[in-house]
Chain A
């Protein structure tokens, strides 16, 4: 069975600090997708990134970066120079490569950036 664990329930940092959100996953599939979504207080989930299991290249998008390591089954998300607008709940998710592509979500990490 697929499982996603986000061990950090809540994180609080001061603006401009760097912060890393951890995500560990379990799957028996050899090919799969990993995702990060942001859920601000408004409730809508905003897609941030999708990563294929066969592509372990790290990715950087502005202040956001993602570190994918198959050896440790982790897909961590780092925000550099955090801003108050980054405050949200962040979900890591996993789906199979083919078929229904159902998403299995982690429990989410509530990130609070204090001014």
Chain B
């Protein structure tokens, strides 16, 4: 139980385009989803927290208009990187917590590697 998927696993795009990343909880309802960013050989940095049906709460320094987060259902959250630039290239990981047996634990997706050319 507590499986989280992400799609796509890898994406390459041109500078200036927008990229959407999906995060799904497959076998439980995710009342809260989190989006992280991880640079090579570094730790995870929380970007935002989203609760189903409400606006995401962004961490300090994260641009809301650049990283659009939608959590429209209890099993799906999306992160859209708008007008992506090379500096947005990173590993993006989502996590979810909710109605699984251990509601206080975040379960992570496999991550999405974004490369902006």
Q: Which residues of A contact B (CB under 8 A)?
A: 33, 35, 37, 42-47, 50, 91, 95, 100-103, 105-108, 110
Contact = CB atoms under 8 A, between A and B. Distances in A.
A102 B57 CA distance: 11
Interface in B79-117: 91, 93, 95, 97, 102, 104-111, 113
Interface of B: 2, 32, 34, 41-44, 46, 49, 57, 91, 93, 95, 97, 102, 104-111, 113
Nearest to A102: B46
B111 A44 contact: yes
Nearest to A91: B43
B43 A35 contact: no
Nearest to A98: B104
Contacts of A35: 105
Contacts of B34: 102-103
Given A100-B49, A101-B32, A47 B43 contact: no
A47 B109 contact: no
A47 B49 contact: no
A107 B91 contact: no
A101 B104 CA distance: 7
A77 B106 CA distance: 19
B42 A44 contact: no
A101 B43 contact: no
14 contacts: A43-B111, A44-B111, A47-B2, A47-B107, A50-B104, A50-B105, A91-B43, A100-B49, A100-B57, A103-B46, A103-B95, A103-B106, A107-B43, A108-B43
A95 B44 CA distance: 14
A44 B110 contact: yes
Contacts of A43: 91, 93, 110-111, 113
9 closest A-B pairs by CB:
A45-B108, A44-B110, A43-B111, A105-B43, A107-B43, A105-B44, A50-B105, A108-B43, A100-B49
Contact of B43 (A44, A46, A50, A106): A106
A43 B49 CA distance: 21
